[in-house]
Structure 1
Amino acid sequence: MWNLLIIGAGPAGLNAAIAAAEEGLKVKVIDEFTKVGGRLLGQLHQESKDNWWNGIEVANRLHEQAVHLGVKIECGVSVYDLEQAEFGWKAYTSQGMEKTDKLLLATGATEVPTPIPGWTIPGVMSIGAAQVMGNVHRVKPGNTCVIIGANVLSIAIANELKLCGVNVKEIIIPQANANLSDNGTPEKVMESFMRLTHMAPTILLRQAGKFATFIHPSFAVKFYPKNGIKLFDIPIKIKTAATEILGESKVTGVKTVNVRPNGEIIPNTEKITKADFVCIAGGLAPLSELAALSGCVFKYVRELGGHVPIHSERMETNVENLFVAGNITGVENAKIAMAQGTVAGLTIASEINGNKLQMESLIEKAVAAVRKERDEALIQFQPNIAEARDLIYQEFELEDRNMERPKRSIS
């Protein structure tokens, strides 16, 4: 039996394991992927002139540190059910049942699908799949690419694909429909660009951020070039929409049209851009199925990427002995997930060891580190994340004061 079982061997899970193990806890980490690191494995980008973020190197360092501290890590293990018990939790996995005092869900995020005519043709993939192929498996996804979906994630990975030797011809938006009111409308896409932090790594995004407070996106879109603005030498065309992906046995290209700021198609502007593979970038959402199984109270928060389990700043949930950390709590970058993992590991250790007063200073410093990472983040996936986080923490306090915790199923 474990003091702490962590589901998810990404940045949050690994850091939580390290923090807990340093306090003497018996910790196990499981992950359904075959390698440790989660989304770290696909990340490779330049943070400043002299500094590159290499996710594989970070993952290897955390892995080695966790193993050195005695953490047991098993990959290729899926979890299909959770059950509370008088001692804590049972987790039913593809390798059998695990017993633990405390359970941490660090399951990360999943990509949001964007259905487009032709999206089942071989050679169409999510932007994250292309990232994994290139950066993790060292397999070049193809030679020429069109990316459908203009957002923070697609821009970052487009540059990574370019580093792999791919000719990324353009980043465009999907045709607007009832389900794509944001991603398929130039005004909404421009609004998201203008809300990027002033610390963004390109002149375009920095300037847009400066003017965001007094220029309406509809005005900015009018002056956005029809042929796009180049970022990393890749044209970002928010006035060009994909209507269909072309090909039969494999991708041959993308049919596009020009659109007005509200997403309305401009007649007689059809065009075909040739490519041998297409990436669809619909954004990210918290991967929260296991939290739903556990009985967590959820709230939909657009700024955090979707439905998230109500939790405290110390990563507690409303369910006894259950904690969360990383992108399951809201989509942010890997450094923030790592910092959250440390908070969760220390919080759990203080409960297991019964030394809450002695641990208080360490936990407060770890919580402050999360806020610091958030304040200094180069770019945010959504605007007003800090404010949304505070609302979630307030919701937790209300739940904690006014509602009984779900009764445990003793077995």
Structure 2
Amino acid sequence: MNKVIIIGSGPAGLTAAVTCADKGLDVLVIDEYMIAGGRLLGQLYEQPDGTWWNGIKESNHLHQQALDLGVKFHLNIPVSNIEKKDESWIVYTEQKTFHANNLLLATGAAESPVPVPGWTLPGVMSVGAAQVMTNVHRVKPGERGVIIGVNVLSSAIAMELQLAGVEVACLTLPKLNQVTYDSAHPKKVLDSLLHVSHMAPSQFVKLGSKLMKNDFMKKLGVTFYPKNGIKMWDIPIQLRKAVIEIYGKDQVEGVTIATINTDGEVIPGSEEKISADFVCIAGGLYPLAELASVAGCPFYLVEELGGYVPLHNERMETTLDGLYVAGNITGIEGAKVAAAQGLTAGLTIAYNSGFEVLENDIHASIQAIEQTRDSAYIQFHPDVKEGKKIVQEQWENYVTTNLKLKSV
């Protein structure tokens, strides 16, 4: 039997593992976390049809499917290096070295919190850490918190914290500087929020978002945005205030915020203090693609996908024989899209291992990725389809260039 190693046990990795094992391939999944599921573990939200998406339930189901099909798991083991020798991929970990004919990188994404004065105090964490503490470990990060950074991820986690009985005093912006420009400029933040306005429980917010279709209306929206914010899930979303400092002696005691103008600049004398025992910083997500880089896979910076992504095609193949990618390593999207990519990757691996009757299945799975993307409830990057188009064009250029080189 051909052996497949999958690094990452999130929705993409687990779905690929189930798909490969179902075709009779010998599959091993490696993950640095102690529980399979990846970012699925922290997800809990209500879907448009009124049902609840429970990430733990979804991950447990996929994990059990994989186990029933004979997939082996090595959890709580970080991977330090990968390399190709002859026809085999070698995966190095702290405990053991593994070999495989096919290697799938489903390493997911990482957070990039923006620096804020006082962020080294105990009680300051990323929003993802607060989500894991609350939804996975059932431990409150605190009683009353402030979330710095207004985006899709922080909005969703704010709702989850409130469901867990944790008070969120407000979602607000970081102070404007060169590093925080995109996340601290009110108009840029408003632009990003308009793409997820359908999530708002407030009809006022939903109606207002439909009116702001051009730059003039957006500018008016920022100018007349209430200084104390608009409430969603009873949490003030403040686009005209910014945290200039997190304060406390031995731990977080609160934040100092100030009113900002439409360009994000602090208005002197508007400072005020908000008490809190924890602070979350939300700077967004970026693809975790270091292992693909180590392997020698070409990269491209695609802002529409959240950062640097390895070059790959629609079948989730990279430029290196036997190396595949799926999930957020290919661009920041939701768990359902990642799982759909995992299915395509699993089918492609099986096809390249001799199951040539899967061509139609692969084609259908690629279409399913697009359909899942189009119907996604949450989109982290509104121009993700343009980003995917950029990667596909780069792939076609790569293939054309290599064909020319081989013909010389």
CA–CA distance in structure 2, aligned partners of residues 77 and 35 of structure 1? 11
Percent sequence identity is 49
CA–CA distance in structure 2, aligned partners of residues 262 and 12 of structure 1? 40
CA–CA distance in structure 2, aligned partners of residues 203 and 400 of structure 1? 49
Question: Is the alpha carbon distance of 1:331 and 1:384 closer, same or farther for their aligned partners in structure 2, counting shifts above 3 Å?
Answer: same
Deviation at 1:160, TM superposition (A): 0.6
Determine the structure 2 residue equivalent to 1:237: 238
CA RMSD of aligned residues (A): 1.7
Question: Is the alpha carbon distance of 1:336 and 1:254 closer, same or farther for their aligned partners in structure 2, counting shifts above 3 Å?
Answer: same
Q: Does the aligned pair in 1 maintain the 2:201–2:233 contact within 8 Å?
A: no
Determine the structure 2 residue equivalent to 1:407: none
State how 1:115-264 maps to structure 2 within 5 Å: 115-196=115-196, 203=203, 206-207=206-207, 209-216=209-216, 217-264=218-265
Can you list the C-alpha shifts for 1:245-294, whole angstroms capped at 9, x where unaligned? 00021100000100011111111100000000000011100011101101
Can you list the C-alpha shifts for 1:12-51, whole angstroms capped at 9, x where unaligned? 0000011111111111101000000000000011113530
Question: Is the alpha carbon distance of 1:293 and 1:236 closer, same or farther for their aligned partners in structure 2, counting shifts above 3 Å?
Answer: same
Determine the structure 2 residue equivalent to 1:40: 40
Determine the structure 1 residue equivalent to 2:96: 96
CA–CA distance in structure 1, aligned partners of residues 51 and 201 of structure 2? 12
Moved more, 338-347 or 186-195: 186-195
1:268 is the counterpart of 2:269: yes
Can you list the C-alpha shifts for 1:150-195, whole angstroms capped at 9, x where unaligned? 0000000001111111110000000010111110111111111123
Question: Is the alpha carbon distance of 1:352 and 1:373 closer, same or farther for their aligned partners in structure 2, counting shifts above 3 Å?
Answer: same
Quick one: which amino acid aligns to residue 5 of structure 1?
A: I
Q: TM-score, normalised by structure 2?
A: 0.95
CA–CA distance in structure 1, aligned partners of residues 385 and 55 of structure 2? 24
Determine the structure 1 residue equivalent to 2:29: 29
Determine the structure 2 residue equivalent to 1:408: none
CA–CA distance in structure 1, aligned partners of residues 12 and 205 of structure 2? 28
Moved more, 55-64 or 65-74: 65-74
Q: Which runs of 5+ in 2 are unaligned?
A: 404-408
Deviation at 1:379, TM superposition (A): 2.3
Can you list the C-alpha shifts for 1:120-172, whole angstroms capped at 9, x where unaligned? 00000000000000001111111000000000000000011111111100000
Number of residue equivalences? 403
Moved more, 251-260 or 373-382: 373-382
Quick one: which amino acid aligns to residue 119 of structure 2?
A: W
Q: Which runs of 5+ in 1 are unaligned?
A: 405-411
The DSSP-based 3-state class of the residue aligned with 1:179 is coil
Moved more, 216-225 or 247-256: 216-225
Determine the structure 2 residue equivalent to 1:113: 113
Deviation at 1:113, TM superposition (A): 2.1
CA–CA distance in structure 2, aligned partners of residues 333 and 201 of structure 1? 20
Quick one: which amino acid aligns to residue 373 of structure 1?
A: T
Question: Is the alpha carbon distance of 1:138 and 1:122 closer, same or farther for their aligned partners in structure 2, counting shifts above 3 Å?
Answer: same
The DSSP-based 3-state class of the residue aligned with 2:39 is helix
Q: TM-score, normalised by structure 1?
A: 0.95
Determine the structure 1 residue equivalent to 2:406: none
State how 1:266-345 maps to structure 2 within 5 Å: 266-345=267-346
Deviation at 1:88, TM superposition (A): 2.6
The DSSP-based 3-state class of the residue aligned with 1:218 is helix
1:379 is the counterpart of 2:370: no
Q: Does the aligned pair in 2 maintain the 1:20–1:348 contact within 8 Å?
A: yes
Q: Does the aligned pair in 1 maintain the 2:304–2:386 contact within 8 Å?
A: no
CA–CA distance in structure 1, aligned partners of residues 401 and 254 of structure 2? 56
CA–CA distance in structure 2, aligned partners of residues 229 and 47 of structure 1? 22
